[in-house]
Structure 1
Amino acid sequence: MQTIMIIDDEPVVREGLEVLIDWHGLDCQIIATADNGAAGLQDILRLKPDIVLTDIKMPYLSGLEMAAEVKKTHPEIEFVLLSGYSEFSYAQEAIKIGTFSYLLKPVEELEIIETIEKLVMKIKQRKEVQVTVETYQTMDKRYLLKELIINQKMANSLEPLLKQAPFALIQLPTLETNVEGYRAYLSERGGQGEVLEFSHGSNGYLFLTQVTKPEIDLADDWFWENELEDGVVIISQIRNHTAKLYEDIQANEQKQFLFKERVLTSERLGIAKKGASKESLSAIQQRLLEELTAATHVEEEWHMASLSHYFQRKQYSETQTKVELSKFTLSLFQELEERLNDPLADEHKETILEDIMKSQSLVALLRLLKHEFSRLHQVYLTDVDNQNIVQKMIHYTSKNYGADLNLQFLATTFNYNSSYLGKKFTAEVGVSYSKYLDQIRIREAKNLLKKSNLMIYEVAEKVGYNNIDYFHKKFKTLTQVSPNEYRKKQNQEVCS
């Protein structure tokens, strides 16, 4: 519907034009009236109507002067001038400033209707052309932007856009995402640049100009809040040129497998790489193995978190991650088989390895391993449960002699009375538990003194003695020599 303003200093004329013409039937709507040229000019510039019907001779500002002033900044606004004077000079001036029609008063109703109908048709045609041109311009801009970002083909027509550095690129699972919602969200929070979208392959992309760190954080927030169920959003790092934006996205896309986040940023990946524990894969495996074969609870969540951090720090590809975890699991199986003295079925191993290779994410893969390790722990516990309580104590001590062990701790662990446990242990083993523990610790200390270059206090700590003097006393009691003397003697035997 086209908008109309009527400006005339005669109330009868204004009201007559409003009432006599079926404006709605002409697809028009009167949005304002004014009784002089000065007031009319202000309303026109504020409301920007499509058509203005105005008298020529009015107080303060004539219709011709008002139309000429409006046409300087809004040439698209159409004017129909009404006058009671038939001088040709008025018509000439009206044509010169670009008014559509010049009608003499008194104006016939039919004449006004015909004039407005022609104007409405002209305006609609112009708007249709304008929409078509804008559509093609937008499509062209998107195509050129895609060529620039994806294929690194410079486009001269994008030169004004490329002056709006720095830039960022966001990869969406699909352009069906509410791009307008994100654009409005960003604008409401002070975003200054443009947000242009284009598609490539099955993904959608948003190209951001004049982007800053806070705006990237806002993007992160928005995509998290609008829970995307169909994939991961990847945000490139901010750059002052477009050359590496798509490379950033592609590199980060390879790391989707490692992260459970719905939004991946270059910064988040960098933090994961720098901030994770530096624990090696073999150390994680050894720690997990010791717990699996101990008669206590296994901290699966902790071990799975350690594995997750390890691979996020390494940022391996999906295939490399699966290969490394397959080798990790097979090695663990082998160690368990040796300790259980009972080989696991080959079919079961093959099933686990197949499931590893089929996993869609590191989270799913670790969930699979957590379940398997929990099952293996139960298998081992069942094997241990077939032994009596003293055998359980001996087994636990052999795995945990470096910890702060005592009879009371074991009684709590195995849910026994400590006095009963102490008497039963002494009866079956022939020495008290504390003496047995010292024997195990000193035996391991001798191995460390013989095979390592650890300092004496380090050996003491590793086998469970935090007091170096107490360690010396116990060592000499059981071996008749001091730790230093024992090490020298062993070295001499090797050299002779």
Structure 2
Amino acid sequence: MTQLLIVDDEAHVVDRFSTTIDWKAIGVEQVFKAYSGLEALTFLRQFSIDIVITDIKMPGMSGLQLIAEIRRLWPKTKCILLSGYSDFNYAKEAILYQTEDYLLKPVKEEDLLATVERVLAKLELEWEEVISNQRLTYTFKENLPLLRTNLLLELLQGRRLETAALHDKMKMLELSDHEWQSFSLMVVRLDELFLQSDHQDLSWKEYAIGNMVEELFGGRYVIWYAKDAHDYLVFAMTAKRKAAEDNDTVWFERTAAALQTAVGTYLKGKISVMVCHDGRFPYDLATLYSRSIGAFRKRIGSEQGLFMRLEDDRSEEGIGSLKSLYEPPLLIHLLEAARWRDIDEKLRMIFDDMEDMEPGSQEHLLEIYFTIASAYSYIAHKNGRHLSELLGAEYGKMTEGLPFRSVNQLREWSLRTLHRIREDMDRETKDSRTSLIQEIHAFIEQNVQQDVSLQSIAGHVYLHPVYVSKVYKLETGENLSEYVQRVRMDQAEYLLKHSTDKIFEIAASLGYQRPHSFNYAFKKKFGMTPQEYRDRFS
């Protein structure tokens, strides 16, 4: 949304240009008015202004001083100078400040409109350059390691991506030169001596270990690396096509042991290593990673410098957990972001997993119930509501323990409760916005003869001007300035019909400092001057 600021100490110039020119015709959605350089800076600090049209000669801060400050703080903002002086020195100084144009007063509206349109075209070209393929490719290359790490971490945590979507992401991240059909996983834990290092030294050593892995395994494997939330270094590897025929687990494990030796010799510290083989990519990635972390906890513990194959871990799996319940994004986070479609999909996955578990598993049913009920209570309380208000009689069942004995009962309750929470949140948002619009309208109608600028309106409702402007447009379909203008014209129409006030007195009472500006705006609205209107209808 393009935003324009007009600055001039002659109020009638600002009012005329802001209200009588069809700015929307060239793509300007919002026009702000300032009557001094200092007031203009206030707008610039609060709004993302694209173009500033300013007079040169103003008391206090001049137009050139204002432009110098804009160049320093908001270099993307374009500036157009207006002046009643034809002195070439002003033009030279304007060029020095990279002003887009220099127009002599009195300025014709069509000339100003054409100048702004040309500046808008220049802005568009500049932004096209910013998002050009060449520049984006360069930035993307710089951030490639971080993007690869983030994707691997998501997969390790169990994020599910469609096969095509994952393939496209890996291709974009230059990870698909070799087919990731199977993989080996190596998890490295830096032991005590490393943890005595300061943060900078530790980061350097982690980076060095990554280089060692590349040196030792890189001839045979494509290596994908990340540091996880436990500060473990996780290496997913797939065999290169040319080396696949002579790949074997003995070589892999021997090389992993060589890594331990090299780290001890050259980095003077111990690492514990967990390896596993022949995972199906990406399906087994999260499972094998989770089992590796579990094996570290149960089999290695606090011992240092150990080496283990995951295949040798014979720990009891237990009853198993509902992975979809804890895979990111969590239900509680989806509720916070009000991502309703994703919440529906999350619940579907949870209950599908439940149906695949041991039939009639009451403990899993209890696990799901407590997790969902906790998330619902959290979001209700965060919105300032009691869950009991939303659930009514059903809340009593929750206080009695587990109210559901089947997956279907719990599914129906979960979806029904979610629907009530969503309806309540939507209604609250709508009600709060409706109240805001009503308060804004009342303020404008009561103060139309005084200051009804966006700044004063925002101050009255204790909200940021940008928020007020955008919410008003979203709810009503028009700009706030259009409503202010309509109220002024309605009152002007009434006063012309029912009062004996002079035209200039009516103009002043409606906030117009110059009768000329009032006449211009009135004629644009009604197709006749105020005097012609009074003669015809009074």
TM range (shorter): 0.3 to 0.5
TM-score (norm 1): 0.37
Higher relative contact order, structure no. (Cα contacts within 8 Å, ≥ 6 residues apart): 2
TM-score (norm 2): 0.35
